[in-house]
Every structure is written in structure tokens, then in C-alpha cells.
Structure 1
Amino acid sequence: MNIDKKGINTLCTHEGELEDTLYKGATSPLYMSTSYQFGEVDVKRYPRYFNTPNQEALCKKMAALEHAEAALIFGSGMAAISTALMSFLQAGDHVVLQQTIYGGTYHFAVTQFPKFGISYSFTDGWEPKDFENEIKPNTKLIYMETPSNPLLTITDIKGVSKLAKHNGILTMIDNTFASPINQTPIDLGVDVVLHSATKYMGGHSDICAGVVASSKENMEKVFQTGICFGGSLNDYTVWLLERSMKTMALRVRAQNENAMKMALYLNQNEDVATVYYPGLETHPDHELAKSQMQGFGGMLSFELPNVDHALFYKHLKLVKPVMSLAGVESTMTSPVTTSHALMSAEDREKQGIKDSLIRFSLGIEETEDIIADIEQAIAKVKALTVTA
């Protein structure tokens, strides 16, 4: 056994855990203090400086999973994204953003960049040539998201990273939908990796957190910005997140399998117009996804055009109609009213986000039970529609 090259479940379980030196417990102890001694110590600890014992330990786990030199934990995914972006951009700079990105990231760009004199442009698509077309002399950063939220578009990570390096541009990627179990962008040439740890890392719909992972040099810049913005995470949530991540690989692989089964089912359902899932051979970027992902993920989306969505959600018994994703329970949401509500209808249309689109996060239940739930909900809506 090569102890220096641990398996993914071993990393999830043991990397970055704290030893209970007092009572020899099996789990990491929790240090809740917000005030630590400053004299005669190697490290002056303070929560906003990301260096309490639990924070430091979890950062090591995050870095190991993303094959990065260092990582930092933040209070939310948007805290991680905004801090990372502002760590590398200043007045006069230009950033290229992928057209298909999370609505919160889009909103941050269009509302905050102008205040700081930062210019930006969105690509027309997500091919390397689309990014190349937007590069300007003052472009300092390229921002990707793959698979994207909510249409599961796939970006050529190697291709865009190679393009960026050729032009001396930093690359940044939102890796939330994939998780480090399914995709490690740093291995494909990306400089900075971002996560909403609220999702697959937390995995139980009870944690809000974010992650930035990169080289030590880049993370020093993120640290200096982060201590000013104050987006640190409280230690109890840090402890819960470290606990949750022990089972991340097991959960994500089960969700991968369930999403594949569900995509195949929905793809032949006469009430469904289109299914967006990179695991389907009909997905336009299926081969690209195969080449850069270890699994296709637990997320998909589909269009349900001729069924009243409000009634459909109301009659679901197992699937929960809620706003977030990636928990152990299966959930659905309407992107136009939640994740992408801050975008204009015109901009949503440019991305291909229709009112009939449903984003579907598969949990770890038996897929047959979830299929039965969907079928009974659609049947009830149809019956009510006919009666009306």
C-alpha cells in the first residue's frame, strides 16, 4: 500500500482530521473558542483569519480532495466566489465569464464589477473559441462553470486552461455540480477551484459554506482579501462539514448512479420534452464529459412543458420542492424563480433557461420510488386539469 497516495474514501474520512489527544475519541474534537492566547504561541488564532484548529484541519481536507496546495473555507459559496474574484481583479481589469453560470455569480458580476471599475464580458457559448473571442488586452481572468447550473453544459477545461495560459490569464472554475469526487480541475490546468460546500460536501441540507482551493501563492492573495471581507465560517459548522465529508464519496457515487437511471427514465417519458444530463449519449458534450469527469454527477434538469408546475410540486410525496440541491434527499426546483431569478428574462432566454425547466437533484433513495412519485404527481395534475 502506498500511504502517500490514499484512496478517495480514505481522504474523505481521514485527511485533515484533528486528533483527540485528551480523550482519544474517534472523531475530531470541536474547538468553539473565538479568543485564543496571543503570547508564547506559534500561531495567533482568530476565526476571521481562517486559522482556528477546526478551520485549519478542514482546509487540509479540502486541498487534498482538489489536489491543491492550499484551501480556505468560507461562510457560503458566494462568499468564496466573490472573495476569490476580488482577490485577482482590480480597476482597469477585464474578466471573461462563461455564458452559462450560476445566477448568483451572474448577479455579482453585473452589479458589483462596475462599482470597482472592472469590465467584463460573457461568452456566446462554452467552447474554447467562445472564450478566445472575448479576450482583450486587459483580460486578467477567465471564469468557468462545468457542469453548469442549471442546464448541465460541459466546458472543455483543458482547452480553456491551455488558451488562458497561452495568454497569461488566470483561470477560475465553479466545481460545485461535479464535486471533487467527479472532477478535479487543477489536474486539467485550472488555477483556482471554487465550491458551494453547502451542496455535495455538506450533503445533508443543513450546512451553508464555500471553498476556494489553489496554489499557496494564489491562496495567500485570497487570504489577504478574505480577512478584509470577513466571510469566515463558524467552527461548529466547520466541524459539521468535516463530519459530513467523511461520506461524500459514498453519497456522490450513489447519486451519480441514481441520476443516470433517472435521466434514462425521463428521456423516454412522453410528458418530458428535453432532458439535460451529460451521462446521456444524446447530450452534445457526452464524450467531453467522459474525458474529464470520473462520474456524471447527481444533477440533471428537464423540461415539463404541458404540466402545471405548481400543482406538480404540490403533489410530490417524496421529492422535495426546495431551493437548494445535493442533499441525501431528492429535490426539485424552478430555476426561473430561485437560482436564476435575479437574471432578466432576456438573459435567461440567452442561456436557454425556459419557464418549463425543472432542476432535479437526485438523492440516495431507491430510484424506483422516486420514479413512482413523479408518475403519481403527473397523473394527479392531469386528472385535475381534465376535471377543471
Structure 2
Amino acid sequence: MKDKKPELNTLCVHAGELRDEKYRGAISPLYMATSYAFEDVEAKRYPRYFNTPNQEALSRKIAALEHTEKALLFGSGMAAISSALMAFLHRGDHVVLQKTLYGGTFNLVTEEFHKFGIEYTFTEGWAPEDFETCIRKNTRVIFIETPSNPLLTVTDIKAVAQIASKHGLVSMLDNTFASPVNQNPADFGIDLVIHSATKYLGGHSDILAGAVAGSEEHVEKVLQFGKNFGGNLSDYTVWLLERSIKTLGLRVKAQNRNARKLARFLQKHPDVSAVYYPGLKSHPDHALAKQQMKGFGGMLSFELRDGLDARQFMKELRLIKPSMSLAGVESTISSPMLTSHALLSTEERHKQGISDGLLRFSVGIEDKKDLIKDIEQALVKVTELVG
């Protein structure tokens, strides 16, 4: 009988850890060297080659959490996304991308790909048939994001992976919003799983990082591209990220619980016109989310009723911080129009369903009662302003 694999929290703490053989400290030692010996050594180590001791150790941890063979660390989520895409796309190739994407990814494609002679198509929707109808003879990659930023649309991971496999394409998925706690795309057949590790993996709003995980064959191709474009992390940030991931399971599960409570509260509030959260039964993709997610995540979006000023609402909050990023232990809120999707034109945002009044809410680990009180007092104040 095979030994059972360690559970989530055990993996978060112990997978890939470096042992302090000399002093037997309880945590991984930090190796800050940028220059290593090249003779009589098992590996020629160099920070830009993604193979320093701390980089290798944390990569093993992320691979274990995502159920993949290998992983790589990058200096940001966009470095991870761009490296993964460019490793498999060349002049004359074509990529199919989900309509509802993070604004930075959308801008990368629309602003840069034509310079490299790479063609692209954004789907009309996110149903499986929307992807298949976009495939051409020169298509090489399908790229999806689920749940999406900021509208929390849910894409059928298994169906897209099967479509990619049938056509001999590489499938990539941005798993940032879900995290490995809530979703493991490789289990559904996705080739490369990508993270902005700045978000849930880091979880404390103090780390900028990215990650790519997949099979040894696919990750090796990303590695070769990454070596040349130099987007890897400093080892101190790697060490901080490893420290943060130790509590990933605890943090994300607490955020899941809070987000579900807050989504239900907002859905019932008369001053809120719409709530986007896959954990709500009213969400159009709720059934699909239940099939492929272990938890519904700590992210949600909502819109206030007509006449209420969303920007003024954010100014009236006292506990929840108006802030650009997401997924920290503290609750934050932002306007996609002003932050994550500011690079898109008004027409492009509205085509994706992102209204000017949409608010993206990253629910933290605070007591849910305090979060509800803060929202209630802000709604009272913003309502008073309209009489």
C-alpha cells in the first residue's frame, strides 16, 4: 500500500523545505549568494538560471501544491504570464484567449504581440464552444483565467483542457484568484498553471512575485525563455514567499468563509444592485464552480444601486482599505476602472462587462461582523449624500 500524500497544510509547511543541517534551525536557511562555484559541484548555480538553493526549494513546494512535476519563480505575475506565453509562441503563431481577463494580460497581448508577429483572438464568451470556434491552423496556445478578474466568471477547466489536447495545443490557466487551496487545474488536464504570487501565495501585501507550474517538459521550455529574459526573483523575496506559503491553507480557508458571508450580506442589501461571487447560488456559473473548486475564494465584486457614488463609498470606509492589489490578510477594495483595468479603453472595459461603478472586494481574515459594520456605515453615509 502506497503512503498517502501529505494533506494541504502539511504541504504548505514542509514541501520542498531546505533543512538547516549545520545549526538545525526550524526554518529554511537563506542563501543570499549571487556567485557560486562552477567546478567540482553537482550544479552550476546562478540566480538568473532559477537554480539557487532557495529558488529550487520553493519551486518544489509550489509544484507540490499544484500537483505538477515542476515550477518556476518569477519577479511578478506578469513576468510569469509573459514568459509562459512567449515560450510557446513565435512569429506567425496564434493564441486564443478568454474574453474576461486581467487587464495587464489583455494589455500585454494587445500592445506587444503584434511587434512579434503573433496573432490572437479573444473569445466572445467563456463556454467551451467559444474557444473551439476560435482555433485556427496556426493556433498554438489557449489561455484562460478562472475565476476571472474582476467579474468572477468561471470557465470549464476540463473542457478547455480537452479541446487543447484534441488540437495539440498548450493550455495555460491563470490560477491567481483561486489559489492552489481552492483549485488545482493540472488535475483537470491544464498544461501550465500560472500565479501572481504577489496575491494569495504571498498573502501579506509585501511581496512581488510570480510562478509557473506544469510538467517537466513544459516548464523546461519556460525556463529556457526565462533565462534569456531575466525575470527571476531575488533569494530574499523567495525566502519571504516560502515563509508566507506556510499559512496559505489557513489564510485562504478563512477568506473563503468570510467572502461567502459578505457576498450573502451584500446580495440582500437594498443599496447593492449586483454581486458577483461563484459561491452564490444565483451566480450563473455556481454549479460549475462546485464541480471544479474546493472553495469559492476570497474575491468578489459588486455594484451599488443607481445614484450612489462608488468612489465616495470607498472614501467612507474605515476598516476596509481602498487599495490597488488584493489577497492580503487585510480586506481591500478597488475600482477596476481605476486600477487593474485602467489600461483598457472604456469601450474595451464595457465589452467585458466592467462598469465604471464596479467595485472589486478582496475579503481578508478580519471578523466578518466588523467588515459588515464598516460596509453598512459607508452605505449610510453615501446614501445621505444623495438625499
TM-score between both structures, scaled by the size of structure 2: 0.98
Q: CA deviation at 1:381?
A: 2.2
SS in 2 for 1:73: strand
**Pairwise mapping of residues 133-148 of structure 1 onto structure 2 (< 5 A)?**
133-148=133-148
Gaps of 5+ in 1: none
Higher alpha-carbon deviation: 159-168 or 63-72: 159-168
SS in 2 for 1:222: helix
Rounded Cα–Cα distance in structure 1 between residues aligned with 2:278 and 2:268: 16
One-letter amino acid matched to 1:172: M
Rounded Cα–Cα distance in structure 1 between residues aligned with 2:304 and 2:241: 35
Q: Tell whether 2:212 aligns with 1:175.
A: no
Counterpart position of 1:48: 48
Q: CA deviation at 1:311?
A: 2.1
One-letter amino acid matched to 1:224: Q
SS in 1 for 2:176: coil
**Pairwise mapping of residues 80-99 of structure 1 onto structure 2 (< 5 A)?**
80-99=80-99
Rounded Cα–Cα distance in structure 2 between residues aligned with 1:42 and 1:175: 34
One-letter amino acid matched to 2:364: G
Counterpart position of 2:158: 158
Q: What does the per-residue CA deviation read over 1:292-330, in whole Å, with 9 as the maximum and x for residues that have no partner?
A: 000000000001143222322222111000000000000
One-letter amino acid matched to 1:161: A
Rounded Cα–Cα distance in structure 2 between residues aligned with 1:2 and 1:291: 27
Q: CA deviation at 1:383?
A: 2.6
Q: CA deviation at 1:3?
A: 4.6
One-letter amino acid matched to 1:30: L
Rounded Cα–Cα distance in structure 2 between residues aligned with 1:16 and 1:335: 36
Q: CA deviation at 1:380?
A: 1.7
Q: CA deviation at 1:384?
A: 3.6
**Pairwise mapping of residues 62-141 of structure 1 onto structure 2 (< 5 A)?**
62-141=62-141
* Count of aligned pairs between the two proteins: 386
Q: Tell whether 2:341 aligns with 1:343.
A: no
Counterpart position of 2:236: 236
**Pairwise mapping of residues 308-319 of structure 1 onto structure 2 (< 5 A)?**
308-319=309-320
SS in 2 for 1:274: strand
Gaps of 5+ in 2: none
Counterpart position of 1:204: 204
Identical residues among aligned pairs (%): 64
Rounded Cα–Cα distance in structure 1 between residues aligned with 2:181 and 2:121: 31
Shift >2 Å, 4+ stretches: 1-4, 381-386
Counterpart position of 1:221: 221
Rounded Cα–Cα distance in structure 1 between residues aligned with 2:22 and 2:386: 64
Counterpart position of 1:265: 265
Counterpart position of 1:57: 57
Q: CA deviation at 1:385?
A: 3.8
Higher alpha-carbon deviation: 27-36 or 375-384: 375-384
Q: CA deviation at 1:4?
A: 4.8
Rounded Cα–Cα distance in structure 1 between residues aligned with 2:65 and 2:203: 16
**Pairwise mapping of residues 327-338 of structure 1 onto structure 2 (< 5 A)?**
327-338=328-339
SS in 2 for 1:231: coil
One-letter amino acid matched to 2:142: I
Counterpart position of 2:15: 15
Rounded Cα–Cα distance in structure 2 between residues aligned with 1:67 and 1:229: 27
Rounded Cα–Cα distance in structure 2 between residues aligned with 1:150 and 1:269: 21
Q: Tell whether 2:303 aligns with 1:303.
A: yes
SS in 1 for 2:165: helix
Q: What does the per-residue CA deviation read over 1:46-104, in whole Å, with 9 as the maximum and x for residues that have no partner?
A: 11111111000000001000011000000000000000000000001000000000000
Q: CA deviation at 1:164?
A: 1.3
